[in-house]
Structure 1
Amino acid sequence: MAKQLEDNLHFEDRFNRKFYYLRLSVTDVCNFKCTYCLPDGYHPTEKKKPSFLTLDEIQRVTGAFAECGTTKVRITGGEPSLRRDFTDIIRTVASQPGITKVATTTNGYRMAKHVKSWKKAGLTHINVSVDSLDPKMFHQITGENMFHQVMSGIDAAFDAGFEQVKINTVLLKDLNSQELPKFLDWIKTRPIQLRFIELMQTGEMDDMFNNHHLSGVSIRNHLIGNGWILKIKSNNDGPAQVFCHPDYVGEIGLIMPYEKDFCQSCNRLRVSAKGKLHLCLFGEHGVDLRDLLAENGQRAELIGRIQGGLQQKAVGHFLDEGNSGMTPHLASIGG
């Protein structure tokens, strides 16, 4: 009976995977034009002004997830800091009982000015997208000449008291794939977890994928051959395989979605900026939750709908079979 009660406190799918981690998108707008995501910049899909989740709706959906075992919420976009109420969003999420990690993923352009207030509001972890340590290549990949602003923002995060900053680098053949030595030198004395993310195929990016996809296996082999050690994950960690080395302050993470059994340990769900539950970054229309976020008192129905949707979650994303699902680009549901 005790075991049954414990299970009832967690969202769980048909494959006995429990979900401790929510990726919550708060906008699909972005001000960068990254070649692997929005090479032509952000264009709204509707003529009218988009209606993204309000603070009240964010409070209700994160409260429901927290009640069912979620301990980590990552606030994503688009670029989440484009929301004028971004600091209030952090404070709202951090105030939910049971949420112990409040993270965000940002392109970093507003960090230098605002990261201290984000931390004060309750942000505990921060990821910054840095696809090259060469300013010209950074400009070429992101479409924006903001390398030095982003670097200043990372310094500001450490000054604000973050003990570690995670850096997301999309691995791109013939663009940044030769920069491993430079990246390793950068993290040798800095508490940075550098995460190389394999380029993922989406509906609008077939040519980009075919030209620039590179497996992370070669980097993993290099790390293991040079004394790097795989760390053990906690139950609300993301999908990265994280390696540490006694001679380095920093760490290396590898996210390799094309590897066999990548989805076996899936522990995260996604809610889009317009209130849809997405069971995977790739694959389906989503489950609309917004009608149950309009007012208090609907938490039981909201939890029931999420749990019901979870029973449709597939065993994996089938990327390795060339099926990129219905996701047009990574900004559309928060990456």
Structure 2
Amino acid sequence: MTRLDLGIPGLRRDPAAPPSTVGRPDVPGLVDRFGRQARDLRVSITEKCSLRCTYCMPEAGLPAIARDDLLSAVEIARLVHIAVRDLGVHDIRFTGGEPLMRADLAEILARSSAVAGGASISMTTNGIGLDHRIRELVDAGLTRINISLDTVDRDHFARLTRRDRLPAVFAGIRAAKEAGLTPLKINAVLMRDTLAGAADLLAWSLENGVRLRFIEQMPLDADEAWARDNMVDAAELLDVLGGRFELSRPHRDDPSAPAEEWLVDGGPATVGVIASVTRSFCEACDRTRITAEGTVRSCLFGDEETDLRGLLRGGADDRDIADRWRAAMWVKQAGHGMGRTDFVRPKRSMGAIGG
């Protein structure tokens, strides 16, 4: 199979032909045509992962990206610096694939933290191996962490991820808690075969003092098995959780935050629900993404990509890179469009885009 077959297309934009900026106001931030401004940067640093979750990765994994095609620690830090200093970004999150698969992760964090000013430095991970590296990562500047965990049933975990590694994830969670990375958030993708265990996962989260967020599954799986009529939506999840817990006062602490938070049994504990498909929050989206190969991706569901790596390696100055980034975000689409009859799923899978 080719890279395109498994969701890693070639560049959508030639560096010599930037997106049109007709009508764009002369402002420094990453604004788009719909009045949104991107302040949250997601940086994918690898396509590799230690798991093979069915909603993300093919069983054999994604095709390897040549080492020279990945952004280096120095290049990543330069983009972080431009984003914070020139473009109004104030949250930096490193993703994958699995960030812990990069041997130079601590260097990436340290170099980025050194130029990030007051921006937060966080990471989304499956937690495998985190217990062995947590100290160096915190020392390098890691301030927050999200850990992916869809079930606390070991058999279900092994089937879903195609790897029997649940104890290793638990070890990573314990290490993050002991290192003081709080609030520690747990991300769980809603799947039909794990819905029955959703209440158990919430009970475990409450017992362990972590903040659980359920996420509706999106059509970003490399196997392209997602079907709208078979997905578990937020309403069905809330019915299941409501059979065991009292959920009340749904709210959002931040209008641009994707999770709707519910008080559990009167609070103060909460459970979050990210209804990416059925209760779209695209109109408040404030994210910009850099893929592991150094392209700007303005939307999870938009295949248009703008190359920054070529500029980084071609001698462009920071001003040119910032302008190209602004142009890429100006043409961001209105939303994912999953409710339309002409919806076409993106060519990249989640593992190839970065979560």
Instruction: Give the counterpart letter for 1:89 in structure 2.
Output: I
Among 176, 193, 203, the alignment partner of 2:194 is 176
SS at match of 2:339: helix
Q: Is the CA contact 2:80–2:116 (under 8 Å) kept in the aligned structure 1?
A: no
Residue of structure 1 equivalent to 2:180? 161
> Does the Cα contact within 8 Å between 2:42 and 2:92 map onto a contact in 1?
yes
In 1, Cα distance between equivalents of 2:133 and 2:150: 22
Comparing 140-149 and 203-212, the one that deviates more: 203-212
Cα separation, partners in 2 of 1:244 and 1:41, compared to 1, 3 Å: farther
1:329 equivalenced with 2:329 (yes/no): no
Residue range with higher mean Cα deviation, 225-234 or 284-293: 225-234
Structure 2 SS opposite 1:300:
helix
The corresponding residue for 2:329 is 310
Whether 1:275 and 2:294 are equivalent positions in the alignment is: yes
Match of 2:211 in 1: 193
1:82 aligns with 2:113: no
Structure 1 residues 26-59: Cα deviation after superposition (integer angstroms, max 9, x where no partner): 111112111111131323166x556210111101
Query: Matched residues in 2 for 1:227 and 1:261: separation?
Result: 21
What is the alpha-carbon distance in structure 1 between the residues aligned to residue 207 and residue 267 of structure 2?
6
Matching residue within 306, 310, 315 for 1:291: 310
Go from structure 1 to structure 2 and tell me whether the alpha carbon gap of 1:151 and 1:253 turns closer, same or farther (over 3 Å shift). same
**Unpaired segments ≥5 residues, structure 1:** 1-6
Where 1:84 maps in the other structure, the secondary structure is: coil
Q: Is the contact between residue 131 and residue 176 of structure 1 (CA under 8 Å) also seen in structure 2?
A: yes
Match of residue 148, structure 1, among 162, 167, 170: 167
Matches within 5 A, 1:1-335: 8-44=27-63, 49=67, 51-67=69-85, 68-173=87-192, 175-202=193-220, 204-209=222-227, 212-220=230-238, 226-234=246-254, 238-245=257-264, 248=267, 250-294=269-313, 298-321=317-340, 323-335=343-355
Structure 2 residue identity aligned to 1:171: L
Shift of 1:10: 2.1
* Aligned residue identity for 2:318: R
Q: Give the Å deviation of 1:207.
A: 2.6
Matched residue type, 1:217: A
More moved, 132-141 vs 279-288: 279-288
Are the structure 2 counterparts of residues 37 and 50 from structure 1 closer, same or farther at C-alpha, using a change threshold of 3 Å? farther
**Comparing 54-63 with 194-203, which one deviates more in the overlay?**
194-203
Aligned counterparts of 1:211 and 1:80: Cα–Cα separation in 2: 32
**2: CA distance between counterparts of 1:82 and 1:258?**
30
Q: How many corresponding residue pairs? A: 327
* 1:269-311 superposed Cα distances (whole Å, 9 cap, x missing partner): 1000000000111121301111222377711111111111122
Q: What's the % identity of the aligned pairs?
A: 29
| TM-score when normalising by structure 2 | 0.84
Deviation at 1:223, TM superposition (A): 6.6
Preserved contact between residue 203 and residue 324 of structure 1 (Cα < 8 Å)? no
Cα 1:131–1:293, aligned 2, differ >3 Å: closer, same or farther? same
Q: Distance in 1 between matches of 2:42 and 2:70?
A: 15
Contact 1:191 1:251 in 2 (8 A): no
Contact 1:127 1:168 in 2 (8 A): yes
Cα shift readout 1:239-264 (whole Å, capped 9, x = no counterpart):
22223346556431111122354201
**Kept after mapping to 1: 8 A contact 2:199/2:241:** no
Query: Which piece of structure 1 moves more, 276-285 or 316-325?
Result: 316-325
Gaps of 5+ in 2: 1-25
Tell me if the contact between 1:287 and 1:309 (Cα under 8 Å) persists in the aligned partners. yes
Indicate conservation of the 8 Å contact 1:230/1:243, yes or no: yes
**In 1, Cα distance between equivalents of 2:202 and 2:119:** 30
Matched residues in 1 for 2:139 and 2:153: separation?
A: 32
CA RMSD of aligned residues (A): 2.5
Shift of residue 99, structure 1, vs aligned partner: 4.2
Distance 1:276 1:248 in 2: 42
- Which one-letter code corresponds to 1:254 in the other structure? V
Q: Distance in 2 between matches of 1:184 and 1:102?
A: 26
Q: Offset of 1:209 from its aligned partner?
A: 3.4
In the alignment, the residues of structure 2 paired with residue 251 and residue 295 of structure 1 have an alpha-carbon distance, to the nearest angstrom, of 48
For the residue of structure 1 that corresponds to 2:167, the secondary structure is helix
In structure 2, C-alpha distance between the alignment counterparts of 1:213 and 1:50, rounded to whole Å: 38
Distance 1:296 1:217, change over 3 A: farther
C-alpha change, 1:310 and 1:219, in structure 2 (3 Å) is: same
- Asked if 2 retains the 8 angstrom alpha-carbon contact of 1:172 and 1:213, the reply is yes
Output one character per residue of 1:204-251: Cα deviation in whole Å (capped at 9) or x when no partner.
44334368511012334677892433343337x642222334655643
Q: Which has the higher mean CA deviation after the structures are superposed, 274-283 or 95-104?
A: 95-104
Distance 1:122 1:77 in 2: 18
Q: Deviations over 1:137-180 (max 9, x none)?
A: 0000001111011101101111111222111111001x110112
